[in-house]
A and B are shown apart, each in its own frame.
Chain A
Amino acid sequence: MNNLITREDTNLVAKLARTIGASPKLATEASLAQAQAETNVRVGAAVSAGGMTIENLTAGFADFTAVSNISLEIIPNKITAIIGPSGSGKSTFLRCLDRLHEEVRGAWAGGRVLLCGEDIYAAGVDPVQIRRRVGMVFQKPNPFPTMSIYDNVAAGLRLNHFRRVPQLDEKVEQALRQAALWDEVKDKLQQSGAALSGGQQQRLCIARCLAVEPEVILMDEPASALDPIATLKIEELMRELAREYTIVIVTHNMQQAGRVSDFTAFLMMDEDRAGRLVEYGHTKQIFTNPKDKRTEDYITGRFG
């Protein structure tokens, strides 16, 4: 709750900045400063709804370690960006956060991942329940090919036994509106989801993810298959969604990480090719004043 109010304050700052004619850059800086001030106060915030704490996460495939010993806190209602060179284990890390990683044959994971203070890897925890609380959007838009737009969004709700139609309609519309897709598809809800443009498909996937009202949304390079306009739309959408959701996004696009995220984690592989966390902090600090030489090199494009 507390959090929501401050988020609105942040937006107020941005809005104010806009109305007095300041550049949009200034506005984001203002809101970033606000965000920083806010999170610095709240230590251990990850225990509240939508927060995640990752402790010594190590994961891999068969005898290969893809990510090694990663610990970090995902702050609720913030956007956390994961950056790093290709193969540094960003996707693997992300897929550990909703226990999707273990669906790959031979995959394993160790360490602890706490969602609102509960270990999602504890014995007796049903991964299916976790995945309903932690949604995921993938790099390549993947709407269910045989379902209509409506059914794509309703699919998750149907699994959760929302069978009463009026309520279903309402929820589908709400999710599509949240994903900024409603106006484009409201007249063709029964058409195949595969017949939309790539950007629309991706927003459909976001709507599908939002429909079940998860606490955290994981996004693995959600805009990498899209053109700049669609990308901006998705980014705008993410900022919008961060009011209600905690978002973790993997991206290769430094500008995107800078534009959209509040926090940034930089992963890189060691000599043994296992990905390790090099640096984690406020996005502004990572981009303007990185503590680690490797972070600086990566961000300035000197390698990777």
Chain B
Amino acid sequence: MCGARMNDQEQQPRREARVEPVSTARGLGQGRDHHWGEFLVENAIRVLGFSAIGFVVLIFLFLLQEGLPTFFRVELPILFGQRWYPTFDLYGTMPLILGSVLVTIVAIAIALPLGVATAVFVREVAPNWAREILKPMIETLAGIPSVVLGFFGMTIVAPLVRDVLGAPTGLTAFTGALLLAYMSLPTIISVAEDALDAVPKSYRDAGLAMGATRWQTIWRVVVPAARSGIITAIMLGMGRAIGETMAVMMVTGNAARMPVTADSLFRPVRTMTATIAAEMGEVARGSTHYHVLFGVGIILFVLTFMINLAAASVIFQKRRRGGLR
């Protein structure tokens, strides 16, 4: 949805101008005659809006308050060290960070081609009736609780991974990546599909009229034109993958080892989210371990924030280049 809206704005900057009269009209209504109903509604909305912002800020402040002490209590070389043994006061977060990054990147590497291809199929190839069935089905996939997927992963995917790949255990980074790919697919497909949908018909016409085949038109004209929406789709998918906890915890084996060897993908791994979820219940409030878990939360937040920032800058750049019209 996001993607579609953004595309619209890029292609028809004039729409903004059309919105203006509406806001002027509201400004007039607000005038001296004291429409009390309107006054109330407007202020209620304002209060709600600001309180939403307030809650976000509060949560963020809480995260900072509980997490920041980490960076003073634990020496940085240890904090970013390679060993996570809280019982021995070793809080090396590197295995966790790399674990999350590995699982997420592999998940996206699987989900991206599949997701974009499916979006192209649903939008451009499937006949009408098939699309009517596929779209709601894909959107329903997004609603499957992650614990159910985790269960499915443990009982079906993990044994498969073990048997097919000959890994010592089925609970590996790869198993987690497979599940995460599956979980981010609905988001990627539906946002990418909206982005494709928002590409004006005139571009398709231009491609076809030039003598491009249908596939050439899709790959060289329509998909590039929907690029910013597709990037948004990937970022949203990544956001979902990196923040996912339950399914990952159930299938990745949770061994906090550095995933730096060549076979790491097929060995157990432990992510930041799984660590927080598994250990938060057991720590004493105010202990170093407690603060470190919040610190991990901050790192996770920063990573997610950077992903979003990257997405935004790609879109912003494109808007600046193409937006002179």
A→B interface (CB under 8 Å): 98, 100, 103, 105, 128-129, 131-132, 135-136, 138, 140, 142-147, 155-156, 159-160, 192, 194-195, 198, 205, 208-209, 212
B196 to chain A, nearest CB (A): 14
Cβ B322 vs Cβ A136 within 8 A: no
Give Cα A212–Cα B210 distance, bound, in whole angstroms. Answer: 8
B→A interface (CB under 8 Å): 11, 128, 200, 202-214, 216, 220-221, 224-225, 227, 321-322, 324-325
Cβ A131 vs Cβ B210 within 8 A: yes
- Residues of chain B within 8 A (CB-CB) of A103 are 204-205, 208, 214
A133 to chain B, nearest CB (A): 8
B323 to chain A, nearest CB (A): 8
- Residues of chain B within 8 A (CB-CB) of A131 are 208-211
Residue of B nearest to A129 (CB): B211
Could you pull out 25 A-B pairs where Cβ atoms are within 8 angstroms? A100-B205, A103-B208, A105-B128, A131-B208, A131-B211, A138-B202, A142-B203, A142-B205, A143-B206, A144-B206, A145-B203, A146-B224, A155-B220, A156-B210, A156-B211, A159-B210, A159-B211, A159-B212, A160-B211, A194-B321, A195-B322, A205-B206, A208-B210, A209-B210, A212-B211
Most buried by B among A128, A140, A143, A195: A128
Residue of B nearest to A156 (CB): B210
Majority secondary structure of chain B interface residues (helix, strand, loop or mixed): helix
- Residues of chain B within 8 A (CB-CB) of A136 are 205, 209
B284 to chain A, nearest CB (A): 56
Cβ A140 vs Cβ B202 within 8 A: yes
- Residues of chain A within 8 A (CB-CB) of B216 are 159
Give Cα A118–Cα B202 distance, bound, in whole angstroms. Answer: 28
- Residues of chain B within 8 A (CB-CB) of A132 are 210-211
Give Cα A103–Cα B203 distance, bound, in whole angstroms. Answer: 13
Given contacts A132-B210, A155-B212, A195-B325, 20 further A-B contacts (CB under 8 A): A100-B208, A103-B208, A131-B210, A135-B209, A136-B205, A136-B209, A138-B202, A138-B205, A142-B200, A142-B206, A144-B203, A144-B224, A144-B225, A145-B11, A145-B322, A156-B210, A194-B324, A195-B322, A205-B206, A208-B210
Residue of A nearest to B224 (CB): A146
- Residues of chain B within 8 A (CB-CB) of A145 are 11, 203, 224-225, 322
Residue of A nearest to B127 (CB): A105
B59 to chain A, nearest CB (A): 39
Give Cα A156–Cα B207 distance, bound, in whole angstroms. Answer: 9
- Residues of chain A within 8 A (CB-CB) of B225 are 144-146
B250 to chain A, nearest CB (A): 42
- Residues of chain B within 8 A (CB-CB) of A205 are 206
Residue of B nearest to A205 (CB): B206
Cβ B227 vs Cβ A146 within 8 A: yes
Give Cα A192–Cα B323 distance, bound, in whole angstroms. Answer: 10
Known: A194-B324, A194-B325, A195-B322. A144 touches B212 (CB 8 A): no
Cβ A144 vs Cβ B221 within 8 A: yes
Give Cα A144–Cα B208 distance, bound, in whole angstroms. Answer: 12
Q: Which of A142, A159, A195, A208 contacts B202 (CB 8 A)?
A: A142
B101 to chain A, nearest CB (A): 30
B200 to chain A, nearest CB (A): 7
Give Cα A181–Cα B322 distance, bound, in whole angstroms. Answer: 19
- Residues of chain B within 8 A (CB-CB) of A146 are 224-225, 227, 322
Known: A131-B211, A160-B211. A194 touches B322 (CB 8 A): yes
B4 to chain A, nearest CB (A): 16
Give Cα A98–Cα B295 distance, bound, in whole angstroms. Answer: 63
